[in-house]
Amino acid sequence: MQPIVAFPEKAQKELFQTLFQHTELLRDLTGHAPKAGSLEREPEHGLFICRYLSSDDQPIYLYLKTSSFGSPRTEYEQFSDQLSFLRRNPDALYYLVLLREAWFEWDDLYVKEELDPALRRIGYEEVLSAFQRVAPEQLPEEFQQEFIAYRRHIQREYESLHAPGSIIDQRLRYYVAFWHVREIILNRWREKPSYPLQLRIRTQPHVHSSHLEAYLLRQAPPYTLPIGNGEPLQLFWELERESLFLRLILPPMREKEARQLHTRLRKKITAQVNALFRLGRTRGTLKGIDLIHARQVNLLKIEIPALESLLHAYSLDKTMQHAEAVADELERAFRLLPELVRNP
């Protein structure tokens, strides 16, 4: 078996498959025990981690996702193939085992609205609960210590969700920080809604691995702004590292018209926001933007210095204190959006 540190997802897949074969883990995770002799590894050319039949011969597929590393294009193509398979085989059951970055990115709403509501999520809580019922001696000897170490690792990883500063991996640290901020804002929004708002923790979908550190907390859906008789504009906030960007999605229009609109909106919104937030520098023109393909442009940038303190919080109390401070800034920006775009 490959060390988990060296090949995270590959090694974890192998360990899970061994657990499925020698323990009751499948039953504990899905509620469906496998029919004898029905377990199949890497079905459909590796689209899933395993396939098996329940006692009433219903096909069940499991997908394991623990990381967003690698080429996003490959990931999206793979999952497109999985969704295509799911829709061709609607009578089967499908489960997603999601850990690390995938646990944050593929939340319940994302799975329901962007993927397929037939998919069932399995996260840290379910995995750890099921792991507690696994006796290591059930496994082949060469896997026993590996499982004990992995179970301890997953437990520590889950506990670290309450304190970003305890996480060595910078990427995961940002995900945890964004997750706390997101939960606070959405809880406040449910109590006092202003317009439809969801916040998604995502990796910027660049193909080149050098850009995979662009992790984001993104407003969804974009705020729609009608303009005359043309197509509406779409605006959204996006938290990226220590800065909050207001971004604009331009509809199809002539280049000159797009530049005029961008300049007018930018000046109007900057004047309104300047007294309320500390603005950072960002491009003030559409220079370098391909108006045919890349229509997402920046309007303004707000500095959020409290995020740095959140990233280094080592206790739950400090984490929540700094997360509340960041959430205060973001909530003010989100609630300001209808006022900013009035009479564009």
Domain boundary among 161, 192, 220: 161
Query: For residue 179, what are the contacts with CB-CB under 8 A and spacing of at least 6?
Result: 104, 161, 201
CA distance 113 to 123: 18
CB 288 within 8 A of CB 261: no
Q: Is the pLDDT reported for residue 327 higher than 60?
A: yes
- Residue 50 DSSP label: E
Does 173 share its domain with 43? no
Helix axes 8-22, 141-159, angle to 10 degrees: 120
In a domain, 78, yes or no: yes
Domain boundary among 161, 195, 214: 161
Q: What share of the chain has pLDDT > 70, as a percent?
A: 85
Does 78 share its domain with 175? no
Q: What share of the chain has pLDDT > 90, as a percent?
A: 41
Does 241 share its domain with 280? yes
Q: For residue 310, what pLDDT is reported?
A: 92
Q: For residue 321, what pLDDT is reported?
A: 94
The tens digit of pLDDT for each residue in 43-69 reads 988 888 999 999 999 999 998 887 755
Residue 227: which pLDDT band, with cuts at 50, 70 and 90? low
Q: For residue 245, what pLDDT is reported?
A: 92
Domain boundary among 161, 176, 191: 161
Q: How many domains does the chain have?
A: 2
Q: For residue 131, what pLDDT is reported?
A: 96
In a domain, 1, yes or no: no
In a domain, 2, yes or no: no
Q: For residue 7, what pLDDT is reported?
A: 53
Q: Which domain holds residue 29?
A: 8-161
Q: For residue 263, what pLDDT is reported?
A: 86
The tens digit of pLDDT for each residue in 158-198 reads 998 888 888 888 888 888 999 999 999 999 999 999 999 99
Does 149 share its domain with 283? no
Does 222 share its domain with 310? yes
- β-bridge partners, 50: 41, 62
CA distance 9 to 64: 8
Q: Is the pLDDT reported for residue 208 higher than 50?
A: no
Q: Kindly state the average pLDDT of the residues 219-225.
A: 88
Q: Kindly state the average pLDDT of the residues 98-110.
A: 86
Does 253 share its domain with 332? yes
Q: Is the pLDDT reported for residue 84 higher than 50?
A: yes
In a domain, 212, yes or no: yes
* Strand pairing category for 93-98 and 59-65: parallel
Give the helix/strand (H/E) hosting 273. Answer: helix 255-273
The tens digit of pLDDT for each residue in 253-274 reads 777 888 888 888 888 888 888 8
Q: Kindly state the average pLDDT of the residues 111-118.
A: 80
Q: For residue 73, what pLDDT is reported?
A: 52
Q: What is the secondary structure of 275-314 as a DSSP string? A: TTS-EE----S-TT--TTT--EEEEEEEE-THHHHHHT--
The tens digit of pLDDT for each residue in 230-259 reads 677 889 999 987 789 999 888 777 778 888
CB 205 within 8 A of CB 305: no
Does 178 share its domain with 119? no
Q: Is the pLDDT reported for residue 71 higher than 80?
A: no
Mean pLDDT, the chain, whole residue set: 84
Q: Is the pLDDT reported for residue 130 higher than 90?
A: yes
Q: Is the pLDDT reported for residue 204 higher than 90?
A: no
- Residue 211 DSSP label: G
Q: For residue 285, what pLDDT is reported?
A: 66
For the whole model, what pTM was predicted?
Answer: 0.84
In this structure, what CATH number is given to the domain that contains residue 66? 3.40.1560
Q: For residue 62, what pLDDT is reported?
A: 94
CB 246 within 8 A of CB 300: yes
Does 155 share its domain with 213? no
Q: Kindly report the number of other CB atoms within 10 A of residue 209's CB atom.
A: 11
CB 10 within 8 A of CB 28: no
Does 141 share its domain with 211? no
Does 24 share its domain with 142? yes
Does 38 share its domain with 172? no
Q: Is the pLDDT reported for residue 33 higher than 90?
A: yes
Does 19 share its domain with 80? yes
Q: Is the pLDDT reported for residue 224 higher than 60?
A: yes
